[in-house]
Amino acid sequence: MYKNKDSINILICDDSVTNTLILSTFLNSEGYVNTTILNDPEQVSPTLSAGNYHCLFLDIEMPKMNGFQVMNEIIGNNIVDEFFPIIVMTGLQTPETRNRALAEGASDFITKPFDQTEALLRFENVMKIYFAYSYKSQANIKLTELTEQRTKELLIASEILIDRLAKAGEYKDSETGQHVLRVGQYAKVLAEALYFPSELCFLIEKSAPLHDLGKIGISDAILLKKGKLTVEEMEEMKEHTKIGANLLEGQDSLLIKMAASIALSHHENWDGSGYPYGLRGEAIPIEGRITAIADVFDALTTKRPYKDAWSIEKTVAEIKSLAGIKFDQNLVDLFLANLDKFESIRQDLADPIENQKVRVTG
């Protein structure tokens, strides 16, 4: 057996006092000393609810409630689960009775008058299966808890990494101020407007701030240049998408994978005119399309050394004009429908000091 015999609690219910005493006495003689006898089937449910029982011996033919009704009550009301050992005792020899008993929750059955050796073997076999299942379930629960804890720890580690990388990017891109935080919030608004699952909205929100991480690999001469970039300089600037993706790729974390995708695709345009690969339409990852609108909205509404902040009206007109060209038309529609949320985020996360220095890529 999987437990000490004297630690197994057995409930016996039969309207016959003689039958319950015979079975209880026999089990006691075999070392199973914790037996409780009931002669009233209506007491099975409250007794099981109040105690820690491991098995029920249950008669089928009883007044008030028969054994089938008792099983329906204790299983249907979740007093016991479907794997709880129920050994049916019956004097009925028909296959219909046995099959019904098994179908309604019985683990096994013994025929009255029962053979003691057979009854013991059936009982112990049922208990072995039950405890094996119970221990496996406990192990699975523990494994699930450990997996959830490990997943939580990895997620926290990924969030910390994302935060540190975003801060590292600010050393080369200090003009953004609260830019990366706002972009993450804007991206979340659009993801929620698409009715994405909360987990996916979270990933997009936390990953979008790393969209320009690749600027770490771009020279200061280009990043800090106030005038228009030459063709050669613009080509080098475009490499920040690949650099960012390369810095982030190769990780199992969903958060890091999402950040890599955004870094690579947020400058792709709906009509295929973007970079680095000239992707078109639905071929552009949705997270990249979302971040593109979030990034441009923030860039246009924020003051830069080479331009004043645009008004909301002018910014909205510009984004609307680029629907189907630079941006996904559906996302532009959602942006317009949630403009009040964008404006609220813009105000709540406004740059405390307008000391921007670095060029925003287009």
pLDDT in tens, 42-54: 999 999 999 889 9
Provide the CATH topology of domain 5-143: Rossmann fold (3.40.50)
Provide Rg for the chain, Cα atoms: 34
Q: What is the pLDDT of residue 136?
A: 64
Q: What is the pLDDT of residue 355?
A: 41
Q: What is the pLDDT of residue 60?
A: 92
Within 10 A of 250 (CB to CB), how many other CB atoms are there? 9
Q: What is the pLDDT of residue 249?
A: 85
Q: What is the pLDDT of residue 154?
A: 62
Q: What is the pLDDT of residue 170?
A: 61
Residues of the chain predicted below pLDDT 70: 1-3, 135-143, 146-147, 150-151, 153-155, 157-158, 161, 164, 166-177, 305-306, 353-362
pTM (2 decimals)? 0.58
What are the residues facing 59 on neighbouring strands?
A: 89
Q: Which residue has the tokens 């970039």?
A: 229
- Give the start-to-end residue ranges of the domains of the chain: 5-143, 173-348
State the Cα–Cα distance between residues 278 and 246, nearest whole angstrom. Answer: 18
Q: Do domains 5-143 and 173-348 have the same CATH topology?
A: no
Q: What is the pLDDT of residue 73?
A: 94
Q: What is the pLDDT of residue 343?
A: 96
Contacts of 276 (CB under 8 A, 6+ apart): 238, 239, 241, 242, 264, 267, 268
**What is the pLDDT of the chain when averaged over all its residues?**
86
Q: Which of 50, 8, 13, 12 is nearest to 33 (CA)?
A: 8
Q: What is the pLDDT of residue 288?
A: 97
Q: What is the pLDDT of residue 134?
A: 72
Distance of CA 193 to the CA centre of its chain: 20
Query: CB–CB of 64/56 below 8 Å?
Result: no
Q: What is the pLDDT of residue 196?
A: 93
Within 10 A of 97 (CB to CB), how many other CB atoms are there? 18
Provide the CATH topology of domain 173-348: Hypothetical protein af1432 (1.10.3210)
Q: What is the pLDDT of residue 132?
A: 76
